[in-house]
Amino acid sequence: MQTNSQRLLFALVLLNGPSAPLIAESPLPDTIQFNRDVRPILSDNCFLCHGPDANHRQSELRLDMRESALKSFAFDSDKPNQDGLVARVFSDQADQQMPPPDSHKKLSPRQKSILKLWIDQGAVYQQHWAYEKPVKTVIPAGQNGVDLLVRKRWMEVGLQSAAQADRRTLIRRLYFDLLGLPPTPEEVAEFLHDSSDENEAVSAVTSNTAKANTTYLSLVDRVLQNPHFGERMAIHWLDVVRFADTAGYHSDNPRNVWPYRDWVIQSFNDNKRFDRFTLEQIAGDLMPDKSQETLVGSAFNRLLLSTEEGGAQPKDYEARMLTDRVRAIGAAWMGQTTGCAQCHDHKFDPLKTRDFYALGAFFADIQEPIVGRREDGMVVVTADQKTTCLVSASLPNKRTVRVLPRGNWMDESGEIVEPAFPTYLPQSDVAGRKLTRLDLAQWLISRENPLTARTVMNRLWQQCFETGLSKVLDDLGAQGEMPPNLALLDWLACEFMDSGWDFKHMVRLIVTSETYRQTSVATSEQLTADPYNREHARQSAFRIDAELIRDNALAISGLLDSKIGGPSVKPYQPDGYWENLNFPTRDYVADKDSSQYRRGLYTWWQRSFLHPSLLAFDAPSREECCAERNRSNIPQQALVLLNDPTYVEAARVFAARILSQRLGSAEERLFWAWQQSLQRSPRAEEMKTMIELLNTHLDGYRKDVKRADDLIKIGNTPSLDSLDKSELAAWTHIARVLLNLHETITRS
């Protein structure tokens, strides 16, 4: 994902040419810290050949452990700076230099100096930060831990708080972040004019001790009780667990798992404890109090890719499914990239191939579909209807799991492994019995596990601030990033566990912080001091997610059907988009009833051909787990918002609403339309532009009413005969421009 500042970098490249020096060196810290300063250098440049993977290790030198490095004389504890590592990295002779020239790795002078200083200071190692238990900073009663810890960092790095956001911005932000829908003009007005507010001048930079006011707190409470909260939170979780309506491989046929999607929504709305949420998904069929609810949760185990391709070998797909599941657990709960350990010990993290298959062995009891045959699933009774859902079922005789040498499923020479927790992480007390999926789930949510709470809180932070506290959401390992504000991530993780895995509590903590409530408009001083906004001395502005682009347009137009849950739906889609699907060939039939206007997250998720409007705005195909989406800005997005019948219909229905208000002048109408779409009043120049545009289109359509008629018939909604066709068509353009504005699709 590109941050604004990275784009600035591009802009600079444009202006100065590619040769402009972009990176200067900052001074070395007085005391080198291994995790902060050294590990990233070693991991990126050295561990490939001198790290955890024994099979790829060169010259018997291992730099990721102090003892091994000492033994190989990489440095000498008595005579620092005499030989070995330092000499090699500073060497300019090709046969001496490290990393060697053919590795295409190169250390900067600063990196070399850090290594030298670190060895001079005694080459002190630390265990990788994410494998240590999080430490909880003590927060004085009545203070928000987020604000306290963010400010502590500001003191260290010399930053100050940005102004607080204005209220209209704040309520839009809160609604998009927690509900995925815009506030109505009435909701905004209520929030703006609430008289209980003691301090309207919240924009003062000095307000860093001001208490979150009661108006805002009660707004947050209402939002957290709003049933659209569960939908909004579900979008991210469904990406992480790769929820989709189809099997994925080859014929990519449908399979029924949508009750699981509704289970996720309901779980967030009920504020189901996150530990329970975890147990039900991984082992809902093995729980002592199993029920339809826990079984539907266990559909998590069935969300992976499967195939019906003729000639697919069961053993091949058994291996694919095992590795797919390990990757999913790694991504969703552990924040670990495990995929490489399928073939070899991890090059950078201590995860071994044996750990990988031992994790996979937890799932060796799950009944898999027979390749080429479709399953019916379990009957699920909901309030509305009876349906089926794929769920986990445990086989009495588990499959034998072997380590597959180099990941090759045809090689049966590997060692047989039983379920086990990765050896480099704290173990649970389960000695003397065979472990089950229930044990795995309990281990993930145990207080000893250093990863789960951090992983989940890091993702929640990203939802509220654009960038995670550790910026690589799916990798808290050596190749990820040590958070600049580790104390904050750790405090959030501990508070999450201490609160009883109370997700809404954590959301409330974050969104009521002053840190969250700052303006996203950056001053040049702030851009200079913290270009990537890693210290959160301001908020971020970013384009809303694919599903929300749709939801927002439907909500503004008044078309949105806000029903929650149910089978996936089919919005308009270009003819022939599925023409390359087969076995069988399929026609896409768009919904004709109110299902046409459901929220984006209910869209039929065809893995091999995701709906093109969602795809254009970076919704993932959900073939693999996705912790963080791209946030691109491409011409196809303009084509979707301008030409997709969903948005044209939204514009014309919005236009009809504008014209149906008892308003006199075009200016009054524009004023009303602006309130609906942007929850603010138009500026004079905006008004002028739109009036001119309106007149242009009025002229055009009055000369050609036939075209007006064509335009106002797009979409299923019947057109209002009571309105003048040319006027409606012209206002459809006005509405369309509003729906296309950058501001409309931006949360700031």
Interface residue with other proteins among 131, 577, 671, 672 (CB under 8 A) is 577
Torsion, Cα 502 506 509 513, to 10 degrees, reads 180
Among the residue ranges 181-189, 375-383, 420-428, 617-625, the one whose residues contact other proteins (CB under 8 A)? 617-625
Site for other proteins contains 295 (CB under 8 A): no
Q: Identify the bridge partners of residue 387 per DSSP, sorted by sequence position.
A: 380
Token pair 């299902």 is at which residue?
A: 595
Alpha-carbon torsion (47, 52, 56, 59), positive or negative: positive
From the list 181-189, 434-442, 588-596, 624-632, the region that binds other proteins by CB under 8 A is 624-632
Residue 541 interacts with other proteins (CB under 8 A): yes or no:
yes
Which of the residues 150 through 179 are near other proteins (CB under 8 A)?
Answer: none
For other proteins, which stretch binds (CB under 8 A), given 148-156, 223-231, 339-347, 594-602? 339-347
Give the whole-angstrom CA distance, residue 390 versus residue 533.
43
Q: Does 311 bind other proteins (CB under 8 A)?
A: yes
Q: Does 293 bind other proteins (CB under 8 A)?
A: no
- The number of residues that bind other proteins (CB under 8 A) is 127
> Shortest distance, CB of residue 474 to other proteins, whole angstroms?
7
Binding other proteins (rule: CB under 8 A), the pick from 163, 418, 612, 717 is 612
H helix runs in 129-184, sequence order? 145-157, 167-178
Sole binder of other proteins in the list 700, 702, 717, 719 (CB under 8 A)? 700
Q: By CB under 8 A, tell whether 640 contacts other proteins.
A: yes
Q: Report the C-alpha gap between 543 and 742 in whole angstroms.
A: 8
Check if the beta carbon of residue 234 is closer than 8 Å to that of residue 264: yes
Q: How far is Cα 17 from Cα 624, in angstroms, rounded to an integer?
A: 38
Kindly state whether residue 600 participates in binding other proteins, applying the rule CB under 8 A: no
Determine which residue in the list 423, 643, 660, 681 makes contact with other proteins, applying CB under 8 A: 643
Site for other proteins, residues 34 to 53, rule: CB under 8 A:
43
Tokens of 265: 């929504």
**Nearest distance from residue 142's CB to other proteins, in Å?**
34
Kindly state whether residue 100 participates in binding other proteins, applying the rule CB under 8 A. no
Q: Determine which helix (DSSP H) or strand (DSSP E) holds 441, and give its type and residue range.
A: helix 437-444
Residue whose CB is less far from other proteins, 693 or 720 = 693
* List 54, 217, 370, 410, residue binding other proteins (CB under 8 A): 410
- Which residue among 303, 380, 648, 673 contacts other proteins (CB under 8 A)? 648
What part of residues 346-365 is at the interface with other proteins (CB under 8 A)? Answer: 347-349
Can you tell me the distance from the alpha carbon of 69 to that of 77, in angstroms, rounded to the nearest whole number?
10
Residue pointed to by tokens 């008595």:
78
> φ and ψ at 640, to 5 degrees?
-65, -50
Over the Cα atoms of the chain, what is R_g? Answer: 28
Alpha helices in 128-227 (DSSP H): 145-157, 167-178, 185-193, 214-225
Per-residue binding letters, 660-679, with other proteins (x by CB under 8 A)? --------------------
Stretch in the footprint of other proteins (CB under 8 A) among 294-302, 353-361, 378-386, 633-641: 633-641
Q: Are 137 and 491 in contact (CB under 8 A)?
A: yes
How many helical (H) and strand (E) elements, i.e. helices and strands, does the chain have? 29, 6
Determine, following the binding rule CB under 8 A, whether residue 109 of this chain makes contact with other proteins.
no
Q: What amino acid is encoded at 423 in this protein?
A: T
Residue among 167, 459, 607, 657 that touches other proteins (CB under 8 A): 607
Site residues (CB under 8 A) for other proteins, limited to 190-249: 248-249
Element (H, E) at 206: none
